[in-house]
Structure 1
Amino acid sequence: MTLLPRNNSLNTLSEEKTSAGNQLFPVFLKLNELHTVVIGAGNVGLEKLTALLKNSPLAKVTVIALKVSTEVYLLATENPTITIREKQFEEDDLDTADLVIAATDDNILNAIIRQAAHDRNLLINVADKPSLCDFYLGSIVQKGDLKIAISTNGKSPTVAKRLKEVLNEGLPEEIDTTLQQLSTLRDSLKGDFTTKVKKLNEVTSVLVKPKQQSEFKNLFRWIIWGTIVASIAIVVSILWSRDADFKSFLQNINPIFYYFLGAGFVFAFIDGAIGMSYGVTSTTFSLSMGIPPATASMGVHLSEILSNGIAGWMHYRMNNINWKLFWLLLIPGIIGAMAGAYLISSLEHYAQYTKPLVSLYTLILGIVIFRKALDLKAKRKSGKIKNIRFLGFGGGFIDAVGGGGWGSIVLSSLIAGGRNPRFSLGTVKLSRFFIALMSSLTFIAMLNGAHWESVAGLVLGSALASPIAARISNKISTKAIMMSVAVIVVLISLKSIINFVLKVI
């Protein structure tokens, strides 16, 4: 027998390659066509079983354990592909298995299971024992047919979990629609493989043309900023030509201006961070300072022209806009807002009666915000809201009548329906800019004007806060802010309602 000379340098290089980096080979298994045996039915077994079913609802799984938890039984009841065998593990239980998962807290038993699996040339995962595993159950990101597996080579499940959260937030739900459309296109193509690849490259090349994207971004920037400047110029011109109180305000600034300047900054900062509550907080504050409901709503919407224009632009630059959703909300929202502004302005002379009704509305919104703060981690609904146009119309109308509620109603409904929070926030803020502009023009046409110190304070304060709030929207304790806002709104609204009742009595 002739022995080949050993090449020490190549051997050393091979050892270095195998000792460094993640050597795992990622695969995706059709668990519905394989038989997986899970030994253990406690908390760990439940975790493994849930992971299997979440990624493969039709997975064929046999669970073997002396004691089976109630939660595992419930899963078996809901999934007919799961079989439970309440018994002591025996090596023969693996005779029909394709994959094995040991999920017991008995190290000796786990070692026996592992040896039995290897005797049958089966791959095994041993819970919380990376060194004993032939494969790992990694963190999974799924958007429809798109599935991404994350592995840290068993080093840090926490890092894998954080990466999963980042990808879940960063990948839009609409990416699955893109996959379906590309699949349909691929099936319709004719010709050889090379021809199909060329055609698919042509279709998808638009996704990687930075020049066109940059040109569109510049155009859209001029549209937004041009609209902001034009709208401010139009509003100021109208007010200057017809309102003596406005001229007087500009010449002699009332100290109350500074109160509303600070309030506008704080309220816009909160709204930009959590996507809601600017209208309800500003209206509640305005009512408590003696401002009539219609004028309070006008102040809110005038201030939102600039603040939402800036915030909308910032979200656009950060690619936080869902354009399909934007157009579905915009037109109905404008119509609803103008109708609501017309209605509440017509009732301005009856402010002593409409004020407690608006306070009741803000009280309800405060309670809604508080409940949403408590339910932030609750499971979202699987089905998205279908009638977006009706949601936009209703949100715009109620927002104009009550001086706020667009974020609380529209944004929260979108998120509760399963839409991406970041993209929903950016879309709602940008559409809000155009809706605030049209409702403001309606208010100016209907009202004679007054209390310009409060309106100007809100406008400037909210404009200063908007760019800051947009940047920290993902870095702030949403729950703490929402609960604080809710408590303040509820207390002030109750005070206003109680004062009205005492006057009547």
Structure 2
Amino acid sequence: MRRLIVLALIGLAAQLVDGSLGMAYGVTSTSLLLLFGISPAIASASVHMAEVVTTAASGISHIRFGNTDKQVVYKLIIPGSIGAFIGAFFLGSIPGDIIKPYVSIFLLILGIYVIYRFMFFKFHPSEQQSKKIMGKKHYVPLGFIAGFFDSVGGGGWGPITTPVLLTSSQMEPRKVIGSVDTSEFVIAISATLGFLLTLGWEQIHLQWVGALMIGGIIAAPIAAWLVKIIPANLLGTLVGGIIIITNIRTLLGSFNASQTIYIFTYLVLSFLWIAAVIHVILKMRKMS
């Protein structure tokens, strides 16, 4: 029972972050399940099954708060679903840890750029800007790659699609986050189907899935409300920090870094991230 309560709290915290910053539910939840000794495939399958419900709740909340761009959602779900389904099969034969470090390097670069963009440039959303988005041909590889790595790594849809859309379009950060979270519902379904075909129902921990679902459902409307009221520059800086912090762990793990290096790296990055957030807040106050 204690473990189920902990999982529900983790699901709540993960969805609160995911719904307000567009990422981290899968990464957070999968990391916890791996700590419990579950294999990567079963951990990813359990998280994606929980995400079928949590992403539905999150998507509905974002739609009600006006945080989504329907055209972006439609362009992402088809290639993303295909990638997620193939990734679920792929995970059964090749460890996701082999691929993760390369994705993390790419995400770290994007995270640094996102922070730079929102720290030093004031975002002026307009109706014309919000429609100036990437061409259709760019959404196909983005959706496929993000869906594939989401299944393989137990989380990746948000960390890949959110920074790319933030750096490659003129969409408001809240609409980027809302669109990514809404489209993730279909991605979770596709990944779950792929895992069920390869693993079967008997290997899925349904109680753990249920605990993660409950926490996520509670947090979904709160997160959708937060993303609507947080200023764009501050939200972008928070997103950039999450991208960096989330992926540096994968890189350090791939190099078998010591605990001392882990602590030092996190302290330095946390200090710089807090400084960036304070800089944005002070800048916004001067302009108000």
| Greater relative CO, 1 or 2 (CA 8 Å, sep 6+) | 2
Instruction: Give the structure 2 partner of residue 375 of structure 1.
Output: 116
* Counterpart residue identity of residue 77, structure 2: L
* Counterpart residue identity of residue 494, structure 1: L
Q: Secondary structure at the match of 1:390?
A: helix
Residues 481 and 438 of structure 1: CA distance in aligned 2, closer, same or farther (over 3 Å)? closer
Instruction: Give the structure 1 partner of residue 213 of structure 2.
Output: 459
Is the 2:97–2:153 Cα contact (8 Å) retained in structure 1? no
Instruction: Give the structure 2 partner of residue 429 of structure 1.
Output: 181
Is the 2:101–2:250 Cα contact (8 Å) retained in structure 1? no
* Counterpart residue identity of residue 83, structure 2: G
Is the 1:284–1:489 Cα contact (8 Å) retained in structure 2? no
- Residues in 1 aligned to 2:141 and 2:213: alpha-carbon distance in whole angstroms: 29
Q: Secondary structure at the match of 2:68?
A: coil
- Residues in 2 aligned to 1:420 and 1:259: alpha-carbon distance in whole angstroms: 36
Q: Pick one of 323, 334, 338 that aligns with 2:70.
A: 323
How far did 1:465 drift? 0.9
* Counterpart residue identity of residue 170, structure 2: R
- Residues in 2 aligned to 1:384 and 1:269: alpha-carbon distance in whole angstroms: 27
TM-score, normalised to structure 2's length?
A: 0.71
- Residues in 2 aligned to 1:453 and 1:496: alpha-carbon distance in whole angstroms: 31
How far did 1:390 drift? 2.1
- Residues in 2 aligned to 1:365 and 1:288: alpha-carbon distance in whole angstroms: 25
Instruction: Give the structure 2 partner of residue 483 of structure 1.
Output: 241
Is the 1:261–1:457 Cα contact (8 Å) retained in structure 2? yes
1:257 aligns with 2:8: no
* Counterpart residue identity of residue 323, structure 1: K
Is the 1:299–1:458 Cα contact (8 Å) retained in structure 2? no
Q: Secondary structure at the match of 1:472?
A: helix
What residue ranges of structure 2 are gaps of 5+ in the alignment?
124-128, 258-288
Residues 418 and 450 of structure 1: CA distance in aligned 2, closer, same or farther (over 3 Å)? closer
* Counterpart residue identity of residue 464, structure 1: I
Cα deviation, 1:372-406, whole Å, max 9, x if unaligned, reads 563241569x9843221221112111211111111
Is the 1:362–1:493 Cα contact (8 Å) retained in structure 2? no
- Residues in 1 aligned to 2:254 and 2:209: alpha-carbon distance in whole angstroms: 20
- Residues in 2 aligned to 1:442 and 1:461: alpha-carbon distance in whole angstroms: 24
Cα deviation, 1:175-209, whole Å, max 9, x if unaligned, reads xxxxxxxxxxxxxxxxxxxxxxxxxxxxxxxxxxx
Instruction: Give the structure 2 partner of residue 284 of structure 1.
Output: 31
How far did 1:321 drift? 2.7
Structure with greater Cα Rg: 1
Residues 485 and 258 of structure 1: CA distance in aligned 2, closer, same or farther (over 3 Å)? farther
- Residues in 1 aligned to 2:73 and 2:64: alpha-carbon distance in whole angstroms: 15
1:469 aligns with 2:223: yes
Instruction: Give the structure 1 partner of residue 169 of structure 2.
Output: 418
Is the 1:384–1:419 Cα contact (8 Å) retained in structure 2? yes
Q: Secondary structure at the match of 2:170?
A: coil
Q: Following superposition, which runs of at least 4 residues in structure 1 exceed 6 angstroms of deviation?
A: none
Is the 1:333–1:395 Cα contact (8 Å) retained in structure 2? yes
Is the 2:107–2:159 Cα contact (8 Å) retained in structure 1? no
Q: Pick one of 299, 302, 311 that aligns with 2:58.
A: 311
How far did 1:312 drift? 1.0
Residues 290 and 304 of structure 1: CA distance in aligned 2, closer, same or farther (over 3 Å)? same
Cα deviation, 1:447-481, whole Å, max 9, x if unaligned, reads 14144444333222212211111111133453357
Is the 1:291–1:451 Cα contact (8 Å) retained in structure 2? no
- Residues in 1 aligned to 2:70 and 2:141: alpha-carbon distance in whole angstroms: 17
Q: Pick one of 2, 9, 13 that aligns with 1:266.
A: 13
More helix by share: 2
- Residues in 2 aligned to 1:299 and 1:368: alpha-carbon distance in whole angstroms: 30
Instruction: Give the structure 2 partner of residue 385 of structure 1.
Output: 134
Residues 370 and 298 of structure 1: CA distance in aligned 2, closer, same or farther (over 3 Å)? same
Residues 475 and 376 of structure 1: CA distance in aligned 2, closer, same or farther (over 3 Å)? farther
Residues 358 and 459 of structure 1: CA distance in aligned 2, closer, same or farther (over 3 Å)? farther
Q: Secondary structure at the match of 1:420?
A: coil
How far did 1:317 drift? 1.7
How far did 1:260 drift? 1.8
* Counterpart residue identity of residue 116, structure 2: D
Q: Pick one of 154, 176, 181 that aligns with 1:403.
A: 154
Matches within 5 A, 1:68-467: 253=1, 255-344=2-91, 346-347=92-93, 354=95, 356-357=97-98, 360=101, 364=105, 367=108, 370-372=111-113, 374-377=115-118, 384-386=133-135, 387=137, 388-421=139-172, 422-448=174-200, 449-467=203-221
Residues 495 and 411 of structure 1: CA distance in aligned 2, closer, same or farther (over 3 Å)? closer
- Residues in 2 aligned to 1:463 and 1:361: alpha-carbon distance in whole angstroms: 32
Give the count of matched residue pairs.
239
- Residues in 2 aligned to 1:418 and 1:373: alpha-carbon distance in whole angstroms: 12
- Residues in 1 aligned to 2:250 and 2:148: alpha-carbon distance in whole angstroms: 23
Residues 490 and 331 of structure 1: CA distance in aligned 2, closer, same or farther (over 3 Å)? same
RMSD: 3.0
